[in-house]
Amino acid sequence: MSMATRATRALDAAGIGYRLHPYDYDADAGAAAGGKGLQAAAALGAAPQRVLKTLMAWVDARAVCVVIPSDRQLLPKALAAAAGGKAARMMEIAEAERRSGYKVGGISPFAQQRPMPVWLEHDALGADSVFVNAGQRGLLLELAPADALRILQARTAAISR
């Protein structure tokens, strides 16, 4: 597995410090198993609230990227309200892969193919460090949430439960 991705190259170019954490990706981890984010947290021995999942969504007709703790669910109404829209819904898999340039299970909020606004769950800012997908399945990067917020130019809101 190559450890260099568009996401890591973008962080390197911005001078952001991070640590890479490869793990055994389970393509079959789904809702029944608690999801891929929870599987990644278990594989790394990390608290699920520190392992963030990247979701691709629509707020009205605008594409947005959403980053929330792996043990939480997105609240579409809260996302829509935070983004100044009327409704939010998850993006279709094919569209999410096209827009991000990453495969589902490996979508990183960093260095997406088609940049879009990023929304970060406010509660994720409380940890010293968080784990975020590095741009390929089975590879997370760990960094300070303030650094993620800065490079993503993300907005924060209470958008999950």
Q: Facing residues of 119 across strands?
A: 66, 155
User: What is the domain extent for residue 81?
Assistant: 6-157
Count of structural domains within the chain: 1
Q: Distance (Å, rounded) from C-alpha 47 to C-alpha 155?
A: 23
**Who wins on pLDDT, 27 or 133?**
133
In a domain, 44, yes or no: yes
From the list 91, 79, 153, 92, the residue with the least C-alpha distance to 121 is 79
In a domain, 96, yes or no: yes
In a domain, 90, yes or no: yes
Which of 31-45, 53-67, 86-100 shows the lowest mean pLDDT across its residues? 31-45
Buried b or exposed e, range 101-128, using 16+ CB within 10 angstroms: ebeebbbbbbbbeeebebbbbeebeeee
In a domain, 94, yes or no: yes
Digit-coded pLDDT (tens) for 37-61: 899 999 999 999 999 999 999 999 9
* CATH number assigned to the domain comprising residue 96: 3.90.960.10
Digit-coded pLDDT (tens) for 65-77: 999 999 999 999 9
- Confidence grade of residue 35 (pLDDT, cut at 50, 70, 90): confident
In a domain, 92, yes or no: yes
Per-residue pLDDT for 14 more than 90? yes
In a domain, 126, yes or no: yes
In a domain, 19, yes or no: yes
- Whole-model pTM: value is 0.93
The sign of the dihedral angle between the CA atoms of 70, 73, 75, 78 is negative
In a domain, 1, yes or no: no
- Confidence grade of residue 99 (pLDDT, cut at 50, 70, 90): very high
